[in-house]
């Protein structure tokens, strides 16, 4: 298809720049009472921030009830964002039946804010690098789709007549779903013209290939456009039915809407909170066949929330003989299954997640890593790079397990190659579980220790932060929490002594302390990781933080004061359900923050 990709790429570069600029009325907004957030170069090829993220409010969004004034719906500005790499791969899977996951190689997203681990293309512009990657992926995916006759006829095309009527029908279904219900007559005509021009020069299949390429390179596919529909209430307008369908699919599936969602949107059956709830329940329910689409979204949330991105590629020093080349991959799968099974199958609670001694492990992890018998409990099939394997729900009390924070993958990732890290482990709890931001370290920080001197302990190495001027300011909030995980070595495996893989060592002191960063925050001492997990599970700050984390993930932006009523409403439903994880998701999609957006007056802030 010579020449087609080139003109699409040129047009896309101009369109993407315009799409980012046209939205400056809202994406460039900085709330004056919140101050400015992070700025500078983005992660995707050095792109600069297209807008400024507000400063996170954290759990005060919920605990400070004065922030909510009941009445008309209130939400803050809704920034324009590009879809994430996970969303891209899921979308082409559901649109084209393609499972090659090309977006894995795309430039990464940027963090939403300092101290917030979730990453999205919300506060960064599109770089030349990512545009080139979009173009290359679109052309490759389109060529593969039409090159596989079976997939073309049974997955991609809704008809088999290979004529203009079939092409028009294909555009009406494929492009409309890819654009999440936002295909209008002008765009449909433009895509048909692309098909016609290419077909005239080549053939029907190449014309369809050109349409697929154009759709996957379109801003309507790559960006999440929301304009609202209906009568504004002050600065707030309800989302259209198709925009609600898109939000549901993006949040619960990280993909495009399915036929049922598209039909509900077309029939105007996503207008009320009850209607949205009904669709969300269907989307979270076990499917009649095949894996649940909700599984991928939960895995994405868990990976970012618990910082498990690098777990499969971790390397550990040779004295850790239980660590194999595949251990990191297996441990990541364990943590992901613990969360997804709890939410989708067990209908469990946040308290269960933080305290349960049971975990899903395969026989290799059970015997070689955790050193327990691989007793067969509930099972789930997991696909790893080396093939499918069965994970058993196993009691890991003997291995010191006390909830998701003591999962091997979580602890191995928050450690160094030789020694465990009280700093990294304490920081994870502080930021991800308590929603307290820790500032980045100053420049020229010395590297972490790699060995323990004779007669010393790992704890004493890190406890030195308490006496170094300039260090204690931040480390007092991390290290005392991380000390509670001292029974777990650098691989996340349980150790009775401070042995660090060598078989013997001094006794361990695993007592710790939570120092409150703000008035009213959780504080106090604990005896070990199990005691810490119990205290965290019972603390309102922790459940409030989890609501905030889910809100950030669902909306792909930072919370502001305008979200307070929604957050407090969601938290109320979460708390009254005994912290049921699925009830939280359902309450969130019914909130004003999810169902409304700020009013857009195009260009008003740019004039």
Rounded CA separation 333/359 (Å):
11
Torsion of CA 184, 185, 190, 193, to 10 degrees: 140
Q: What is the DSSP string of 566-577?
A: HHHHHHHHHHHT
Q: What is the DSSP string of 346-412?
A: S--BHHHHHH-SEEEE-HHIIIIIS-S-----SEEEEEETTEEEEEEEEE-GGGT--SGGG-HHHHH
Residue 357 has phi, psi (to 5 degrees) of -80, -5
Rounded CA separation 249/275 (Å):
15
Taking residue 335's Cβ as centre, other Cβ atoms within 10 Å add up to: 23
Mean pLDDT across 94-103: 97
Rounded CA separation 34/111 (Å):
18
Q: What percent of the chain has pLDDT over 70?
A: 90
pLDDT of the residue at 603: 58
**Statement: residue 280 has pLDDT above 60:** yes
Using pLDDT thresholds of 50, 70 and 90, give the confidence band for residue 16. Answer: very low
- Give the model confidence (pLDDT) of 439-469 as tens digits: 888 888 888 889 998 889 999 998 888 788 7
Q: Which of 231, 107, 93, 245 is nearest to 155 (CA)?
A: 93
- Give the model confidence (pLDDT) of 61-88 as tens digits: 999 999 999 888 999 888 889 999 999 9
Contact in structure between 76 and 562 (CB atoms under 8 Å)? yes
- Give the model confidence (pLDDT) of 214-268 as tens digits: 999 999 999 999 999 988 888 899 999 999 999 999 999 999 999 999 999 999 9
What are the domain boundaries of the chain? Answer: 4-224, 297-440+449-538
Can you tell me which residue has the tokens 């600029």?
A: 21
């Amino acid at each position: 298809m010579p020449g087609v990709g080139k003109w699409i790429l040129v047009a896309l570069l101009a369109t993407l720049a315009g799409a980012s600029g046209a939205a400056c009325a809202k994406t460039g907004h900085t709330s004056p009472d919140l101050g400015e957030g992070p700025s500078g170069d983005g992660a995707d090829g050095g792109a600069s921030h297209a807008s400024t993220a507000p400063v996170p409010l954290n759990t005060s969004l919920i605990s400070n009830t004065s922030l909510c004034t009941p009445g008309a719906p209130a939400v803050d500005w809704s920034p324009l964002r590009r879809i994430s790499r996970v969303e891209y791969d899921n979308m082409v899977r559901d649109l084209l039946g393609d499972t090659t996951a090309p977006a894995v190689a795309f430039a990464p997203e940027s963090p939403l804010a300092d101290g917030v681990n979730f990453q999205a293309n919300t506060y960064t512009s599109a770089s030349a690098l990512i545009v080139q990657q979009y173009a290359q992926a679109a052309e490759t995916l389109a060529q593969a789709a039409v090159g596989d006759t079976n997939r073309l006829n049974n997955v991609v095309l809704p008809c088999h007549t290979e004529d203009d009527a079939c092409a028009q029908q294909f555009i009406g279904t494929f492009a409309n779903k890819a654009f999440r219900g936002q295909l209008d007559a002008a765009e449909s005509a433009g895509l048909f013209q692309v098909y016609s021009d290419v077909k005239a020069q080549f053939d029907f299949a190449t014309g369809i290939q050109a349409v697929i390429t154009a759709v996957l390179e379109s801003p309507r596919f790559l960006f999440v456009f929301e304009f609202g529909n209906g009568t504004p209430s002050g600065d707030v307008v309800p989302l259209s039915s198709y925009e609600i369908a898109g939000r549901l699919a993006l949040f619960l599936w990280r993909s495009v809407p399915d036929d049922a969602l598209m039909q509900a949107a077309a029939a105007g059956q996503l207008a009320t909170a009850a209607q949205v709830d009904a669709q969300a329940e269907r989307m979270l329910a076990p499917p009649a066949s095949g894996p649940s689409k909700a599984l991928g979204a939960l895995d994405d949330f868990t990976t970012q929330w618990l910082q498990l991105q690098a777990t499969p590629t971790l390397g550990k020093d040779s004295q850790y003989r239980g660590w194999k080349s595949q251990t990191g991959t297996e441990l990541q799968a364990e943590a992901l299954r613990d969360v997804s099974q709890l939410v989708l199958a067990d209908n469990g609670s946040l308290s269960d997640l933080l305290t349960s001694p049971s975990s899903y492990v395969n026989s290799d992890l059970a015997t070689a890593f955790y050193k327990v018998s691989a007793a067969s409990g509930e099972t789930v099939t997991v696909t790893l790079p080396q093939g499918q394997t069965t994970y058993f729900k196993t009691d890991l009390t003997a291995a010191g397990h006390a909830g998701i924070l003591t999962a091997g993958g979580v602890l191995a990732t928050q450690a160094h190659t030789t020694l465990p890290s009280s700093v990294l482990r304490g920081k994870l709890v502080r930021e991800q579980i308590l929603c307290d931001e820790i500032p980045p370290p100053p420049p020229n920080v010395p590297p972490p220790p790699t060995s323990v001197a004779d007669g010393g302990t790992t704890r004493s190495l890190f406890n030195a932060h308490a006496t170094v001027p300039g260090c204690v300011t931040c480390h007092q909030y991390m290290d005392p929490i991380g000390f509670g995980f001292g029974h777990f070595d650098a691989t996340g495996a349980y150790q009775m002594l401070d042995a660090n893989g060598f078989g013997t060592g001094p006794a361990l002191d695993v007592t710790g302390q939570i120092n409150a960063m703000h008035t009213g925050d959780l504080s106090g001492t604990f005896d070990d990781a199990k005691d810490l997990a119990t205290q965290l599970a019972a603390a309102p700050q922790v459940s409030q933080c989890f609501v905030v984390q889910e809100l950030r993930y669902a909306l792909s932006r930072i919370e502001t004061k305008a979200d307070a009523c929604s957050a407090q409403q969601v938290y109320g439903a979460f708390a009254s359900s005994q912290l049921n994880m699925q009830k939280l998701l359902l309450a969130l999609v019914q909130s004003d923050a999810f169902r409304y957006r700020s009013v857009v007056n195009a260009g008003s802030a740019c004039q």
